Chains A and B, each alone.
Chain A
Amino acid sequence: MCPEAQCDASGEFLLISVPDKQWHDLARMLKEELHFDYLTALVGVDWKEELGVMYYLTNTETQEMIHVKVATTDREQPRLHSVSDLWAVANYQEREVFDFYGIEFINHPDMRRFFLRNDWVGYPLRKDYDDDPAKNPLRLEDEENEDNTYRLVEDEQGNVTRIDGKVFGDEEYVVNVGPQHPSTHGVMRYRASIEGELVKKVDVVSGYIHRGIEKMCESLTYPQTLLYTERMDYMSAHINRHCLCLCIEKAMGLEVPHRAELIRMMMDELMRLSSHLLSYGCLTMDQGATTAFFYGFRERELIYDIFDKTCGARMSMSYLTIGGVKTDVHPDFIKDVRHACDVITKNLKEYHKLFTGNIIARNRMVGVGILGKDDAINYAITGPSGRASGHHCDVRKCHPYSLYNEVEFDEVMYETGDSMDRYMVRMKEMEESIKILRQCCDMLEQEGIEGEYIAKVPKLIKLPAGHWYQQVEGSRGAFGVYLESDGDPKPFQKPYRLHFQSPCFNLVGIVDLTCKDNLIADLITITASIDYVIPDIDR
């Protein structure tokens, strides 16, 4: 099929390198014949002599993973073929790559920058990027609403022509939601074309708090990069950090003590609980049930107290580290966790009584914003939102990491994929998390009060040349880390490329799909039920 494709099975997953002109055919074959229907990650990389993209693909039936490398040597006008027609999630992902690497995607429907301003000069993640402040000064004037977009269309002879277009027509009534809006949960901005109360199209304008974490990480040592993981999805701070730790440990070949891994897993589950409590609160408040919001926050406080005691901070705990955790747990830890589990179990009933069974809440959520299973996979929607659509995507079950093999819990799955299901998955997942935590408490108790909580880690961390991909189950979906090292022998080695595959970035991709032909009020319900966190989108 692709004679020029080269396969390399030496890494953790099978690597296929393919020239761009055969890439689309190969992609079609991989998706349709070999059932690699879930585009797990799409990572733009600058290998200096060539620019390209790494595609991580997953077969949702066998959970087998492969990755494909597609690159071009043309640095002046780099072009690759788009796969957004095969995997819908590639639409926004390719726009991000275009934004940072300047790679244009042929046949992409809407080639605009995703995060940066339209007047940004240069492509910041390229290795030859000129970061002279004179080129990109702090601009004091507003950014104009940019309605211009273009497509690159390839005809049968292979000639590529540029076709300009508009995002919204002149006759459309466009309402601006955000970036300062009570229910976008942060500085997110939608431009919604409406007809009366009906939403016709939603355009996502992102990047208001983009900090360039991936770019910054390239100038930090490995232990320093850990810091930024907690500032993406701050509601799964421990989990994100866990992921990067696992990835670096995998690259180093480091064995983590059992106790450390157990503590990490407990922290992950506590984080998930707190995140789902917040998401319950926000979802209810976005629908006007302000009281329910406070109930969610009341229970979250218990978890924050646990974090405070052991980690010394309530948010951005900085507790996990390469090789284990920074300190052993507080002597009260097990007692506090058990207490929190009991209280939350008891109060979950109250939540259901107050909100879940309410007729207004049911009318607002049942059948609203339906996302089918195929769409969920196509848009790479994972986490509670994916599972609500029947997408079997819990990384804890599919690609078990940490000690998730040693505990018993169920993957919560629903089928319809409406807002109600997304909400219910979270409520049920809290019960599962509590189940895991209780088992962990017993395991930790058996290990005794003190133990080995960190492995012997060299003072200077150096990784061999190569690339690794690690994913964990974040509170909002599969969180992935792509780490590439050039094996630099200098004492303070820095990652050559560090990419965070955040679940919320994919979640925001379905806003247009699910909100179309729904009411304005449903836009709020749907965005609340898919529950994204803005700093995770704008990394």
Chain B
Amino acid sequence: MFDFSVVTTWFNDLLTVSAGMPQWLATTIECVIVGALLLLGYTVLAMFYIMYERWVCAWFQCRRGPLRVGPWGSLQIFADVIKMLIKEVVDLWKTDNFLHKLAPYFVLIASVVVFACLPWGKGLQAIDFNIGVFFMTAVSSLGVVGILLAGWSSNSKYTLIGAMRSGAQMISYELSIGIAMLTIVCLAGTMSVTGLVEAQQNGWFIFTGHIPAIIAFIIYIIAATAETNRGPFDLPEAEHELTAGYHTEYSGIHFGFFYLAEYLNLFIVSGIASLLFLGGWMPLHVAGWDGFNAVMDYIPSTVWFLGKAILVSFIIIWFKWSFPRVRIDQMLALEWRYLMPIGLFNLVLMAIIVSMGWHFAG
């Protein structure tokens, strides 16, 4: 399997050894390039995801989806982006203008930072440190600040109700996400992203951790759907109740940022799911089946990661286009009465299994 660290090491050597730059300068240049690449990837993926959801949704709804612009409507998204970019950003009366304009950046930055931490492929990791998943949960919680700010600063009753719902929802479901992550960290014994992936060398956690891992996966998928404000948990922007929830008053590219972040959050939670449960970029390996493992290794690691993330996203999209929306009290009851207690119990179960060595060898 191709190791991307070959490329990154070569580039580092090119700067420091061949070009003779000092280490600090080389690191700065690398950071800028990595940042630019990540932003590019972010945008391209967001565009892909918007089209992906439209096609999947059309398929569910017996429609054909976009098909006018370009082959199979594939250029539709470019038209949409251009429209979004050139639309006027409306200034509102009687609002806190600074906070109103700041809010979308909070949401966007939170999602970009988590995006940067994902395991893109073998050796393709922007930053790798020993508290990887912990860092991700910490940063992703920043997004809710942006949503609350957006709702509050718009000075509208709809946005305020949307923001309040969102606050209650995201804070609640973050608990379940955290507990599900802890369950896997307990199994892996590391919080480092690379460590987690390497630990799934001979079998993904969803297989090696068997029962508690599967329970954790289900809890994670439900909580992640809620965390990304997607249906059936799209109460903060429940179109039929609050028109558009917290971003009702946004227009132009500021609305675009919310939109972008929303789609990328879908990718991010799917990416984390694939990291924690489906082995990140690790190909499907079965201990002892060397021939099979070798074949699997021919598929590039990035394809594995993206493929898994898109597959998990499909499940989440499937939820949205099949289920009706839950009500606020039912949503909170689901979290506090069911998901969190089950999650806690599951964590204990996982701890017992790990300490007794009842899990499959990784």
Contacts and interface: CB of A to CB of B under 8 A. Distances in A.
A175 B248 CA distance: 15
Nearest to B240: A183
A116 interface: no
A197 B328 contact: yes
A454 B326 CA distance: 52
Contacts of B235: 521
Interface string B58-79: 0011110000000000000000
B279 to A, nearest CB: 32
B83 interface: no
A522 B60 contact: no
Contact of B329 (A173, A285, A288, A519): A519
A291 B323 CA distance: 9
A524 B241 contact: yes
Q: Is the contact region of chain B dominated by helix, strand, or loop, or is it mixed?
A: loop
A176 B63 CA distance: 34
Contacts of B329: 197, 519
A291 B243 contact: no
A304 interface: no
Nearest to A362: B324
Contact of B326 (A173, A290, A360): A360
Interface in A407-439: none
Contacts of A162: none
B330 interface: yes
Given A295-B62, A360-B232, A520 B324 contact: no
Interface in A358-387: 358, 360-361, 363-364
Contacts of A166: none
A176 B322 CA distance: 30
A325 B239 CA distance: 42
Contacts of B46: none
B337 interface: no
Contact of A291 (B239, B321, B330): B321
Given A288-B240, A289-B322, A290-B321, A519 B327 contact: yes
A284 interface: yes
A464 B326 CA distance: 58
B249 interface: no
A292 B243 CA distance: 20
A291 B327 contact: no
A294 interface: yes
Nearest to A181: B243
Contacts of A287: 240, 324-325
A294 B232 contact: no
Nearest to A288: B325
Nearest to A183: B240
B121 interface: no
Contacts of B327: 363-364, 519, 521-522
A486 B128 CA distance: 91
Contacts of B63: 294
Interface in A497-525: 519-524
Q: Is the contact region of chain A dominated by helix, strand, or loop, or is it mixed?
A: helix
B240 A285 contact: yes
Nearest to B165: A197
A3 interface: no
B322 A520 contact: no
B326 A363 contact: yes
Contacts of B211: none
B241 A183 contact: yes
A183 B239 CA distance: 8
Contacts of A524: 240-241
Contacts of A521: 235, 238, 241, 325, 327-328
A523 B327 CA distance: 11
A415 B57 CA distance: 37
B234 interface: yes
B161 interface: yes
Contact of A288 (B243, B324, B330): B324
Contacts of A294: 61-63
Given A291-B60, A295-B62, A363 B328 contact: no
A519 B324 contact: no
A182 B240 CA distance: 5
B315 to A, nearest CB: 15
27 contacts: A197-B329, A284-B324, A287-B240, A287-B324, A288-B232, A288-B234, A288-B240, A288-B323, A289-B324, A290-B321, A291-B61, A291-B321, A291-B322, A294-B63, A295-B62, A354-B322, A358-B324, A360-B232, A360-B324, A360-B326, A361-B324, A363-B326, A363-B327, A521-B235, A521-B328, A522-B327, A524-B241
Given A354-B322, A364-B330, 19 more contacts: A173-B157, A182-B243, A284-B324, A286-B240, A288-B231, A288-B325, A289-B322, A289-B324, A289-B325, A290-B61, A295-B62, A298-B62, A360-B324, A360-B326, A364-B324, A364-B326, A364-B327, A520-B241, A524-B241
* 7 residue pairs, one from A and one from B, having the closest CB atoms: A288-B325, A183-B240, A287-B324, A289-B324, A294-B61, A521-B327, A286-B240
